[in-house]
Structure 1
Amino acid sequence: MDKSQKAYNKALEKYNKGYINDSMDLCEKSISLNLNNSAAINLKGLLYYISGDLQGSKSLWKMNVHVNKDSVAKKYLEDSKKDDKLLSIYNTAIVLIKEMKINEALIMLKECSNSHFNYINVNNYLALCYMKKGDYLKALEHINNVLGTDRNNKIALQSKKEITRTGVVKKDKIKMMPLIILLVILVSITSIVLVIKNNSSKIVNNNKNNLNKNKTEDIVKNKTEDKIEDKTETGKSPKEEIKEEIIKEKPVEKFPYEELKSYIDNKNYDKVYEIIKKWDKKELGINEKSIFGKGKELLLTEGREAFYTTGYSYYEKMEYDNAKDYLMMAYEYGADTWYYSHSIYILALCYEQIGNIKEAIKYYTIYDESFDKGEYKEIVLYNLCLLYKNIDIDKSKHYANRVIEEYPNTIYNNSKVQDIINNNY
């Protein structure tokens, strides 16, 4: 076996095992040793093809047809004619993702997935779309498609890491079924106990309230009877002194220990958030600090992603007021998460949609300052350019220039940006 064929065989083995970079290097070696090794040329073209380099793959196959009269390369070229259209569809889908039009992007990416062209990028973006929609099982399916072809793909590995961190997707979903059933039973039992407990508490509280009411009425009555004169020694009327006395006796608000504990047990993230926000930085006892800490921990481990998922769901329904409330909670607690940048960007979009330009600018600016190479960076700069046009033209021009300088080939480097630069506004 000659050296070129040996290198090709290794390249094919590496490709089948998911090491496409190693396979590419071995193809290069094989071709350099023998330009007539048509199989090595075709494989290298295929590696370009699945990686999204349409021109690179076509060039190699054309060379193989010209030099080696290879029929396989000719067939590849014929099949790739429709891929120019798919490349255009794919590029449009990327723009839609940046504009948070996920459902529209999914339709286009699914069309692209009917071909093996650009297989890795298409599946990575399909996974990203499903992650944004909270469908982690579907996202994992596309991540595994990528890793089956390129097991060292950084984007897919990062996405898988983020999904694993959520705890939603487990390695063995079948083994999870008994646990899910057990959790359902436990939640049902807990709900029944809580209903009984709450009803009992209401009866006790009603009795206490009646006693307190009677006691207060007696106090008021006695004090009124004792104050016969229009004015007391303090110079105040009896009614004024009675009112002050009642105010003095008003109890100090008590930390809702049992309520918070119940909300934590039932994973009522909204209520936990309300209590944590209200009592944060207030002086608490040891037991109160303990349950407060558990509430905060729940928000930092599970609640924040639930907030993002709910907020995004409202955003998709165009319920922007609800969306921003939940996205704000995700923003407050999600600084170290994969969806943190998405929360900020969508939050800005929501404020822009409801006409709160001040807050929209605020969160677009936070995104710009926080994510140097963020996936929404070019559209954030573009939006800031347009929003500032009627507010501060100098800032508008600043962002217009940044669009041109940092993203010269972007679709956002358009006539609107040029008009602002040239004072045609």
Structure 2
Amino acid sequence: MDKSQKLYNKALEKYNKGYIEEALELSEKSISLNINNSAAINLKGLLYYILGDLEGSKNLWKMNVHINKDNVSKKYLQDTEKDERLLSIYNTAVILIKEIKINEALIMLKECSGSHFNYINVNNYLSICYIKKGDYIRALEHINNVLEVDRKNKVALQSKKELINMGALSKSKIKLMPIVLSISILISIMGITLIMKNIKREKMDNNTSSKPVNMKENEIKENKIEKDKVEVNKAEVKKNLEKFPQEELNNYIKTKDYIKIYEILKKWDKIELDIDGESIKAKAKEMLFSEGRETFYRIGSNYYWKMDYNEAKSYLLMAYEYGKDSWYYSYCIYTLGACYEQIGNIEEAIKYYKYYDEGFEKGEYKEIVLYNLSLLYKNIDKEKSKYYGNKLVKDYPNSIYNNTHVQNIINNYY
């Protein structure tokens, strides 16, 4: 067996085991040693085809037909006639995903999934769509489709990591429990510490109020005022303690009513309570951080897809408040900007788009964020409009958003 054939066999083995980059490298070496090795040429063409390089695969198969009169390559070329259309559909789907039109993108990607052309990219975007919709079982199916072909695929591995971080995979729940417990204990300890400080402060206030009998009249008056303030403070704290809906909150925790939990915490979060009150508050916060926030994001996203932007905004703001370290945080910020833009609140839209621009250097929505900022500033601040237009052109010269609108802004045609 010649060296070219041995390399081809190794390439085929690597491909079957899911090491597509190594398979490409070995097939290339095989062809360089023997250009008449039609099997190696076909394999390399197939790898390009799966990766979405239609021109690359067609060129290889054309070469194989021309040099080796290979009938397999001829058949492959015939089958690629429909793939130009699929590539166009795929590119449109990617744009729709960036605009958070997930349902429309899914229809197009499902049509693309009927072919092995662009198999990795199509499955990666399908998994991203299903993650955004909260359908983690289907998302995992498409992630596994990619990893079977390309074990080292960065996009698929990142998507899988997101599922683990969200607790969508059983393995993650074991890892997250100790962390959640630690957070709960930490918050409880913080609550107890605050209460102890308050007690100590009250004791000091009481001690300082025991002045000698012979103090001046104005000092007596001042002391009385301070003492009255302390008494009012105590009465206010007592009043708050009596009103805190502890049993009600506990019931909401049991039934996982995240909205009611959020509403109570919003009102009582900064008010110091007794040990029991602080403990139940800590438990409620833990639930919002571990489960509730993702529910808020999912509901908000669903409202956004239904074009109910006011409802979407309400839930996304809750998700944003508790989501700083979450997998969805960047998506949430972008969607909030889009919601505010849709309802005509340009000031808030700009605020969240700028949060995205400043916080996510290589974010998935960076291009459209820069584009939106450039357009939104067009009639408000021409210099800022040009700044974001120039930034888009510089960082993403081949972007679909580098269009006539941006060029007109940059060249002062507006």
The answer to whether TM tops 0.5 is: yes
What residue in structure 2 maps to residue 93 of structure 1? 93
Task: Please identify, of 360-369 and 126-135, the stretch whose mean Cα deviation from structure 2 is larger.
Answer: 126-135
| 1:256 shift after superposition | 2.0
Q: CA deviation at 1:282?
A: 2.1
Out of 256, 279, 285, the residue aligned to residue 290 of structure 1 is 279
Tell me, yes or no, if structure 1 residue 333 matches structure 2 residue 316: no
The Cα shift of 1:38 comes to 0.8
Amino acid at match of 1:253: N
Q: Which of 221, 231, 240 lines up with 1:253 in the alignment?
A: 240
Letter in 2 for 1:256: P
Shift of 1:58: 1.2
- CA contact 1:137–1:169 (8 Å) conserved in 2: no
How do 1:3-402 residues align onto structure 2 when only pairs under 5 Å count? Answer: 3-170=3-170, 252-254=239-241, 255-402=244-391
Runs (5+) with no aligned partner, structure 2: 172-234
Say if 1:320 and 1:354, in contact at 8 Å, map to a contact too.
yes
Q: Give 1:397 shift.
A: 1.0
Distance in 1, matches of 2:236 and 2:39, equals 91
Q: Give unmatched runs, 5+ long, in structure 1.
A: 172-247
- Mapped to 2, the partners of 1:165 and 1:396 lie a distance apart of 37
Between Structure 1 and Structure 2, whose CA radius of gyration is higher?
1
Distance 1:51 1:249 in 2: 67
- 1:161-201, CA deviations, whole angstroms, 9 ceiling, x for partnerless residues? 21233233448xxxxxxxxxxxxxxxxxxxxxxxxxxxxxx
Distance 2:328 2:70 in 1: 48
Structure 2: which amino acid aligns with 1:287?
D
C-alpha separation in 2, matches of 1:249 and 1:85: 70
SS at match of 2:239: coil
Mapped to 2, the partners of 1:311 and 1:364 lie a distance apart of 17
1:422 positional shift: 2.2
1:413 pairs with 402, 406, 409, which one? 402
Shift of 1:253: 2.4
Cα distance change on mapping 1:257 and 1:58 into 2, 3 Å: same
Q: Between Structure 1 and Structure 2, how many residues are aligned?
A: 349
* Counterparts of 2:239 and 2:102, CA distance in 1: 49
Give identity over the alignment, percent: 70
Give the SS at the match of 1:8. helix
Measured after TM superposition, the shift of residue 249 of structure 1 is 10
CA distance in 1, matches of 2:15, 2:411: 52
User: What TM-score do you get using the length of structure 2 for normalisation?
Assistant: 0.81
What is the DSSP-based 3-state SS (H/G/I as helix, E as strand, rest coil) of the residue aligned with 1:252? Answer: helix
CA contact (8 A) 2:61 2:73 kept: yes
AA of the residue aligned to 1:290 = S
Per-residue deviation, 1:291: 1.4
TM-score under structure 1 normalisation?
Answer: 0.79
1:264/1:295 contact within 8 Å kept? yes
> Could you say which residue in structure 1 is the equivalent of 2:216?
none
Post-superposition offset of 1:62: 1.3
- Which AA in structure 1 matches 2:384? K
